[in-house]
Chain A
Amino acid sequence: MAEGVIQRAGSSRRELDGGVPVVGNLYVKVVPPPDLNKNTEWFLYPGVWTTYLLIIVIGWLLILSVFRCSAGTAWTVVNLTHFAVTYRFFHWKKGSPFAEDQGMYNKLTWWEQVDHGRQLTRNRKFLTVVPVVLYLIASHTTDYRSPVLLLNTIAVFVLLIAKFPHMHKVRIFGINSDYPT
């Protein structure tokens, strides 16, 4: 849960009268969240959601400028890359990149570790909405053409099913259930 509160100017300065927003002085108060898992606690700080969305939008602009394709193709590429990257890092890779955790989280994917395993928190709801919105944008801008639509639909289905609360710690057919090597 983003604990940030957007404030105008810090507490050491006097009140700005009339609420005049001084440009470039947007500050956020950060309170350390009580999450001991270093692998996931960074997600509870302010600014994460905005950075995530900005990376997606900047990625789309990059693809447009490098490949000079149509907007719809670029959105499809963004959607599929987003699917590949988030599936690998949220739902496939298990454990945490710190040896001091001593393998405590070695059976849990990042998605299962976030928010200490509690379901339906604000962070999880946000992360579930993003692939859906990306799918809607990608399918709309490609005019629902058939080969591309199928790929986009598969991507969003896999991601959504992986994020269901009922899928917590479920491994279908035992895929990815072993301790990671």
Chain B
Amino acid sequence: MAVTIPYFAALTTYFSYGLLFVFGHLRDFFRGFMKSESAPEGYAPLCRDFEDFYTRRLYHRIQDCFNRPIASAPNAWIDVIERYSNDNNKTLHRTGNSRHCLNLGSYNYLGFAAQDEYCTPRVVKSLDKFAISTCASRADGGTTSLHEELETLMADFIGKPAALVYGMGFATNSTTLPALMGKGGLIISDSLNHSSIVAGARGSGAKVSVFQHNIPEHLEEVLRQAIADGQPRTHRPWKKIMVIVEGIYSMEGELCRLREIVAVTKKYKAYLYLDEAHSIGAIGKSGKGVCELQGVDPADVDIMMGTFTKSFGSCGGYIAGSKELIQYLKHVSPGHLYATAMSPPAVQQVISALRLIRGEDGTDRGARKLAQVRENSNFFREELRKMGCEVLGDADSPVMPVMLYNPAKIPAFSRECFKRNVAVVTVAFPATPLLLSRARICISAAHTREDLQRGLEVISEVSDMVKLKYMPLEEEVEALLKEKRL
């Protein structure tokens, strides 16, 4: 999906970044005279100052908008700790107060992030039985009956023969990809994939190619070219080719075009790795993810990956695939052999959340939560569009980025919303392209209609102040047309 940006906003954004870079470089230039030599005599400097230029000169200016500490569970409302700075945001100190804010930033799609009447008692009971940590890796005595139960449940939920559970979502990608791919292999990943996939791909030693975001025609072109060329220099055929896509792209709120991509990978006999970090549990009629939503048979996707952080209110990740794949990974993946096992109460939280979603607790709360998050997302997105803000994302997706573009609007939007007790997450370069900085809003099933209305009021007020309404309303366009004709 292409983003439509007003040309004037593009020009002013480049100009603002240019100005910021010029001032940054000037400051660095003068700093060269003032600072003392940091490395001891004869040693090379530990870091290059150009490498953290972006962090020092751009990120530190607006540091108070990121990494805000919280003082409560990230439910629909959250307590955010206030901070102040005496040296222009280089260091931040807590004031000791906290603000009770509407939480539009947490990945709490089904509302499991706070106390739940079904999940929490069971988690506390498992804490009594299993304690906080297994104090071992999975291979060395860290596998409890809870882990096995979760793996069976997860595999059954997704529709794959077997699953493997890891303690950390990022580590799932960054340790599994090096175990599966090696030198002589080719990884073709979507250009907007998450940094965990990029880290895993780089660490694997395989050649990495990129195809244009969510465009299966370009994927086919890249695949054809790669298969025809073979490995670089020797031109031998590739050992294996893997295509990596995500279910929902968290920065765009956009769904993957899975059907077409599966068709392409089947045609050219490439493996498909689907990262469902944001879509599992939140999308699809019964929460089974993007495969269910788009009617794709899970057997067509070779490796399905996901995390428990978003919809299940826990931590960790999983890989699901054939029995042989999981057996192989158990022997080879460093995340399984050497990393600490997932904490047992966290496992119990996922098990309980999963049972709730499937309706196995005897109520229909799961189905209601799924319907609620869908309804809330569609309502919020429609209202934002009607307001005139530029919102990305497909229908049914609970993630909706609101485009900001100019670098100055990032702290303006964030701080003004915070003053009005709404906590939003803003994202800028380098997590997003330079031009396309955005405020990413995540809707939860725990938000009530009143919460959403309050959020919309605040966003409307702040957008007027910060001039974020890039897409004028139908009525305004008609009025303008009438003026032109008269």
A interface with B by C-beta (< 8 Å): 6-7, 9-14, 16, 20, 22, 24-36, 38, 41-42, 45-48, 50-51, 54-55, 93, 95-100, 103, 180-181
Contacts and interface: CB of A to CB of B under 8 A. Distances in A.
Interface in B181-229: 191-192, 195, 198, 208, 210-213, 218
B5 A30 contact: yes
Contacts of A30: 2-5, 435-436
Contacts of B14: 47-48, 51
B7 A27 contact: yes
Given A29-B2, A30-B2, A99-B47, A6 B7 contact: yes
B51 A98 contact: yes
Contacts of A93: 50
Contacts of B484: 20, 22
Contacts of B10: 28, 45-47, 51
Contact of A54 (B11, B54, B211, B472): B11
Contacts of A6: 7
B167 to A, nearest CB: 23
Nearest to B191: A34
Given A36-B191, A97-B52, 5 more contacts: A13-B477, A27-B6, A46-B7, A51-B14, A97-B53
User: Chain B interface secondary structure, helix, strand, loop or mixed?
Assistant: mixed
B480 interface: yes
A179 to B, nearest CB: 9
A32 B210 CA distance: 12
Contacts of A25: 6, 472, 477
Nearest to B39: A181
Contacts of A180: 48, 50
Given A47-B14, A95-B50, A32 B192 contact: yes
Contacts of A55: 15, 18
Given A34-B212, A42-B435, A47 B48 contact: no
A35 B144 CA distance: 44
B110 to A, nearest CB: 30
Given A28-B7, A32-B212, A36-B191, A22 B44 contact: no
27 contacts: A6-B7, A10-B471, A13-B474, A16-B477, A16-B481, A20-B481, A25-B6, A28-B6, A29-B2, A30-B3, A30-B435, A31-B2, A32-B433, A35-B210, A41-B433, A42-B435, A45-B10, A46-B10, A47-B10, A47-B11, A50-B11, A51-B10, A51-B18, A95-B48, A97-B51, A97-B54, A181-B45
B412 interface: no
A38 B480 contact: no
A54 B7 CA distance: 14
B430 interface: yes
B77 to A, nearest CB: 32
Interface residues of B, number: 47
Contact of A26 (B8, B429, B430): B8
B211 A45 contact: no
Given A34-B212, A38-B430, A100-B195, A45 B11 contact: no
A35 B211 CA distance: 9
A41 B435 CA distance: 10
A9 B472 CA distance: 10
B212 A22 contact: no
B385 interface: yes
A38 B17 CA distance: 14
A32 B275 CA distance: 20
A42 B436 CA distance: 10
Contacts of B191: 32-36
Interface in B389-403: none
Nearest to B7: A26
A12 B5 contact: no
A22 B481 contact: yes
Given A20-B481, A93-B50, A32 B11 contact: no
B434 interface: yes
Interface string B410-443: 0000000000000000000110011110000000
Contacts of A12: 385, 471
B154 to A, nearest CB: 31
A67 to B, nearest CB: 19
A27 B4 contact: yes
B45 to A, nearest CB: 6
A42 B477 contact: no
B100 to A, nearest CB: 35
A34 B385 contact: no
Contacts of B218: 34
Nearest to B218: A34
A34 B210 contact: yes
Contacts of B480: 22
A181 B54 contact: no
A27 B192 CA distance: 23
Nearest to B214: A32
A22 to B, nearest CB: 5
A31 B481 contact: no
Contacts of B3: 29-30
Contacts of A103: 51
Contacts of A181: 44-45, 48
A178 B8 CA distance: 41
A151 to B, nearest CB: 23
Contacts of B430: 38, 98
Interface string B26-56: 0000000000000000001101101111110
Contacts of A98: 51, 54, 430
A163 to B, nearest CB: 21
A45 B435 contact: yes
Instruction: Give the residue among A9, A32, A38 with the most B Cβ atoms within 10 A.
Output: A32
A48 B18 CA distance: 11
B214 to A, nearest CB: 9
Contacts of A29: 2-4
